[in-house]
Structure 1
């Protein structure tokens, strides 16, 4: 928890309590359904929560915005972002149903009113548009952008398009994708060893 408070301080008592509850909730659920690797659960706040909040550090999401988290897995980056932006609506999507069971339980345990979940493949989301797509390292950029484009509204009063979290040498992946993303090294925002070679990648 102190890793988060090292970089963010402007939280309400309710948000602080929600962030504090993340670890016991994920520990409890991880015993039943493994959504966070055993070695990562001890550094949940750095490797999952703070990592997710790199998006909040670079993108200010207006109240009422609608955001879809593609391939949310155990709820990252969607759940930490939903705590951070209580007036933004987050729709968390994954093709693996048992992971979403954990996401729903965690959201309920936190009392998050701004989270919905859907068990589906992203290509099967029809008749819905969002202001922004977020994702964490679930697929190559070329696929993420192909899936995101049909879901994004043409204009919003904040950031639009795709913002994803990626790691490693992305030169070939970006070249293949045919898009010109903006890239920000997370290490510049959170100078912790874990974030070396990790990036926030944004495609408008």
Structure 2
């Protein structure tokens, strides 16, 4: 937990306790349905929790706003962000039923009343959101059309897609034809894992 406190000194004792509980729940669930690889599990706080919270280094979701997490898998980045922003509503979607059931179970175990989770594809979601978050589900050119119409007409300040990606994204962004702003997570996290990790922001139209 020291890593978390170091990078997010504003966390309350309750939030730190929730992150500890989240890791315990995630470990237990991972044994049963293999949400992430074993080496990743050994570096869970760094590779999953801090990585998810990298989005919060780029944007602060305002109280009362709504966030859609697409392809959430085991609840990443949605669940860590929901702990960090308790007054923001998060809707987590994934097409794989057992993953969503695991997310629903973990959210309930943690008492996260600001989280809902649903087995569906991004293209089938009908509600509108201020923000969309996701972790490297597909190339930007493929992914963005799935969520382009999911934004509220009058969204919160900074509304748009915040996409966690890695590596050199020059070609991928050019291919998508989108106006994107890239933030290097290495600007905030000195750990080696984050050397090539980025947050790509695409504003809502």
Q: How does the TM-score come out when normalised to structure 2?
A: 0.96
Q: Which SS does the other structure have where 1:39 is aligned?
A: helix
**Partner of 2:141 in structure 1?**
142
**Partner of 1:181 in structure 2?**
180
**Partner of 1:193 in structure 2?**
192
1:17-62 deviations in Å (ceiling 9; x for gaps)? 1011122111111111110111111111000000000101110111
CA contact (8 A) 2:74 2:100 kept: yes
Q: What is the Cα deviation at residue 156 of structure 1?
A: 2.2
Q: What is the Cα deviation at residue 149 of structure 1?
A: 1.0
1:97-143 deviations in Å (ceiling 9; x for gaps)? 111111111111111000000101111112x1000100000011112
Q: What is the Cα deviation at residue 171 of structure 1?
A: 1.5
**Structure 2 regions of 5+ residues with no counterpart?**
none
CA contact (8 A) 1:60 1:158 kept: no
* 2:161 is aligned with 1:162: yes
Counterpart mapping for 1:46-85 below 5 A: 46-85=46-85
**Structure 1 regions of 5+ residues with no counterpart?**
none
- Supply the distance in 1 between the matched residues of 2:168 and 2:59 (Cα, whole angstroms): 23
| Cα root mean square deviation, aligned | 1.0
Q: How does the TM-score come out when normalised to structure 1?
A: 0.97
Moved over 2 A (4+): 154-158
Q: What is the Cα deviation at residue 158 of structure 1?
A: 2.4
Q: Which SS does the other structure have where 2:75 is aligned?
A: coil
- Supply the distance in 2 between the matched residues of 1:168 and 1:186 (Cα, whole angstroms): 11
Q: Which SS does the other structure have where 2:53 is aligned?
A: helix
Q: What is the Cα deviation at residue 12 of structure 1?
A: 2.0
- Supply the distance in 1 between the matched residues of 2:4 and 2:143 (Cα, whole angstroms): 28
* 2:28 is aligned with 1:22: no
